[in-house]
Amino acid sequence: MERLQKVLARAGVASRRSSEGLILAGRVRVNGRVVTELGTKVDPHKDRVEVDGRRLVAEKPVYYVVHKPREMVTTLDDPEGRATIADLLKEIPERVVPVGRLDYHTSGALLVTNDGDMVDALLRPRSGVPKVYAAKLQGHLDVEELDALRNGVVLDDGYKTKPAEVFVLREERNNTWVHITLTEGKNRQIHRMGDAIGHRVMRLARQSFAGLSVERMRSGEVRELKRDELQQLKKKFLNPYRRAREASKEA
């Protein structure tokens, strides 16, 4: 018997945290009855679990890297009719969800999976997942401004960013390309960091996420993780997450 949230997450419906919202909203049925109790346990091999009338079938965990194009939303549907990440996932037989998001105008590395534990492990604040970006900033940056980005700047909501790795890639006539590595993920963080030092971000691309690179991948391309990539993800993020979760249960 397993908790219903875990079953939903493993089936790729959503992360474990998001699955709680589905249950509380009355969108989940077990053996034909609506279930709203978060502590509910089910047997995924015997019980009939449905979300919005669609029956779930347990799937093996799968992991893919997507090179998200610009002008595409990371959600699986969009009420405004814009292109969505779902357009790139049509050939994947499993139901997968994105791990986090990239802004509409930001391109680059995005992990999608049906492994709810992996999603939670990578998105929890303490994970320190490295995210590497190439950013085009308006104007030229002096040493003090670069140091401010490295040491932490105060955003518009008063939050001071954590230290980041920053160096100049190249300078153009009126702009500067910089390499930025973050270990946190505040909403539109690099754009807001640029605003904090008076240099608007003109273009942004995420080159890698959790060590997963889109180097040599075409925009819009999707590939399955290599064995060594998956092993590193499990070693660095998934296994520590599971150990911490078990420790909290025993405390």
Burial track 207-220 (b if 16+ CB lie within 10 A, e otherwise): bbbbebbbeeeeee
DSSP code for 181: E
Give CA separation, 193 vs 95, 146, 217, in Å: 35, 11, 28
The pair phi, psi for residue 156, each rounded to 5°, is -65, -15
Tokens of 84: 């969505």
Of 47, 78, 103, 195, which is the active-site residue? 103
Judge contact between 95 and 62, C-beta under 8 A: no
State the amino acid at position 237 in one-letter form: F
Tokens of 15: 């992360």
CA distance 178 to 141: 10
| 115 given a catalytic annotation | no
Amino acid code (one letter) for 28: V
DSSP for 122-164, written as a single string = HHSGGG---EEEEEEEES---HHHHHHHHH--B-TTSPBPPP-
DSSP summary character for residue 84: B
Which residues are known to be catalytic?
103
